[in-house]
A and B are shown apart, each in its own frame.
Chain A
Amino acid sequence: MPPVRVLTVEGATVTFGGRRVLDGVSFSVEAGEFVGLIGANGAGKTTLFRVVLGLLKPSAGTVRHLGRRVGYVPQKVAIEPDAPLRARDLVALGLDGERFGVRLPSRSRRERVDRMLEAVGAAAFADARVGTLSGGEQQRVLIAHALVGQPSLLVMDEPLANLDIKSGHEIVELVARLAVEQDLAVLLSAHEMNAILPHMDRVVYLAEGRAVSGTTGEVIRSDVLSELYRYPVKVLDVDGTVVVVGGHDVKVR
């Protein structure tokens, strides 16, 4: 049985004020795959995400989703510390936030929300206001919000941007584990890619509005990345772990 393509983007083109931000971008994500989206600033990553999420209609090309809905984890939330939204409220809105009317208390719903909070390690602060949580804790709650509706594709925009090294690795490992448990494909953008390298099946890279995809081994190479970022980038093997570093001063011993 051929693998199910949960996301197929074909020839997506987006033009802003005469500039082609995306120029015939095509790639797909298969069920259960962990795909990294990389590219320099201004390469069109955010625009591509907006197209994938249906927030922006491409002037040409198509976006097709198969399977269940798409879960989305935005790069940042700007929620005031005194905003009356508890972690569990945000997760519950991931179940039915688009429905009209108020919901009646339901035990099965509450249990679903509790299980999801447990799964992302957020049970301890389930009743805290979202605005009072740390960046890593907020990230966990947002992941729970995105996953509680059991999507088949999780889209994450720079999930590691505001996290320290430990929190970043923990979040990536959490997502990789949940992806297996929930039969979930992941499409994630990251500038800092070291944390995601061990889990990434495939890389889609964007440069000047065009996309190329390949396996991690094909793309995460010094020559390919240096060309992509137009800057010296080295891919090193440190005690068996592949790491990516940039800069003129990097010397390979």
Chain B
Amino acid sequence: MTGFLASDPVRVALVVGAMAAVVSGVVGVFTVVRGQSFAGHAFGDLGTLGGSGAFLLNVNPLWGFVSVGAVVAGAMELVGVQRRRGRDVATGIVLGAALGAAALLLYLDTTRSSTTGAAVTVLFGSIFAVASGSLPVMAGLAGAGVLAVVALYRPLLLSSFHPELASVRGVPVRAVTLGFLVLMGVTVSLTSMVVGTILSPALLVGPAACALRLSRRPGVAMVLAAGIGLVVTWAGIALAYASATWPPSHAGWPVSFFVVALVFLAYLGVEAGAAARG
């Protein structure tokens, strides 16, 4: 255990994991309440494009995730993610094209550096390889994300359930919708650093879905979701560290596997608990 906490990559991973878990718990509750887990997946898929592009340009993948997230949020607001008909077609076409382009960029990354590191890092995360220099930026993004949810709490809540009632009360519903999409983009960027773009929606939505089974109050659910996210992320990091001696390769299992598996187990547990209560 002392070896675990003495390792610099582990300490950075614990801090990064904590920040991502807390902000995705808070943002995730509204994502589930607003029925936008689909948009979370879109951010993850499109983040692949940003992350692989960043690798090619030799910059921190975080910047790729964040810049794509901001652009995508604006595009989604224009397409109208809230309108089911528009989003089915637009999603299929845009996500397909973006993943196709990401495939090219990842291929170029691989041929240039002649390793498969880029693909694994972008798609499945490599939290032990996060540069400690990017910690302040990530802390700033996570902090701003949580503060934004606190600031938007009531207008977001009312417009999630009934946009028209919110409009009548003077809530700028379109601006709030766009603001929340940007928030989701930033959050998925942070979770992508932990578990990669492919699995990032699991960390955004999973703990929040568990928490919403446990509490009917959004504020309480946010605290619970952040807590559940924190536990699964830290436990995932610890298990990945411990797995260094495990077969088959004695090189350790990926963190993202453990985190997502724990999210899944937590969800099963909560569902089973709910079923037992009737």
Contact = CB atoms under 8 A, between A and B. Distances in A.
Given A54-B168, A77-B161, A90-B161, A102 B218 contact: no
Q: Which 7 A-B pairs have the closest CB atoms?
A: A97-B158, A98-B169, A72-B168, A98-B170, A84-B216, A93-B158, A98-B171
Contacts of A101: 150-151, 153-154
B36 to A, nearest CB: 14
Nearest to A96: B154
A83 B154 CA distance: 15
B165 A102 contact: no
A84 B32 CA distance: 10
B144 to A, nearest CB: 15
A98 to B, nearest CB: 4
Nearest to A93: B158
Interface in B141-178: 150-155, 157-158, 161-162, 164-171
Q: Which of B155, B162, B166, B221 has the most CB of A within 10 A?
A: B162
Contacts of B85: none
Contacts of A102: 150, 153-154, 219
B205 to A, nearest CB: 14
Nearest to B149: A102
Nearest to B216: A84
B33 interface: yes
Contacts of B158: 93, 97-98
A249 interface: no
Contacts of B219: 102
A250 to B, nearest CB: 37
B217 A86 contact: yes
Given A55-B168, A97-B169, A98-B171, A103 B162 contact: no
A83 B215 CA distance: 10
Interface string A78-91: 01001111100110
A1 B165 CA distance: 34
Contacts of B166: 97-98
B178 to A, nearest CB: 15
A98 B219 CA distance: 17
Contact of A100 (B154, B169, B212, B218): B154
Interface of A: 53-55, 70, 72, 74, 77, 79, 82-86, 89-90, 93-94, 96-103, 129-130, 145
A72 B215 CA distance: 29
Contact of B155 (A53, A70, A83, A97): A97
Nearest to A79: B161
Contact of A84 (B164, B167, B218): B218
Given A84-B33, A84-B215, A145 B154 contact: no
The majority secondary structure among interface residues of chain A is loop
Nearest to A75: B164
A45 B158 CA distance: 25
A127 to B, nearest CB: 8
Interface residues on B, range: 20 to 34
Nearest to A86: B216
Given A84-B212, A93-B157, A100 B165 contact: no
A186 B150 CA distance: 35
Contacts of A54: 168
A103 to B, nearest CB: 7
A55 B164 CA distance: 8
Contacts of B162: 74, 77, 79
9 contacts: A72-B165, A74-B164, A77-B161, A93-B157, A93-B158, A93-B169, A96-B154, A99-B154, A100-B154
B154 A93 contact: yes
A55 B173 CA distance: 11
A53 B162 CA distance: 15
B154 A70 contact: no
A54 B167 CA distance: 9
Contacts of A89: 157, 217
Contacts of A129: 216
A86 B219 CA distance: 12
Given A86-B216, A98-B166, A102-B219, 12 more contacts: A70-B168, A79-B162, A83-B33, A84-B216, A85-B157, A93-B154, A97-B157, A98-B158, A99-B154, A100-B151, A100-B152, A101-B153
A82 B162 CA distance: 15
A89 B160 CA distance: 13
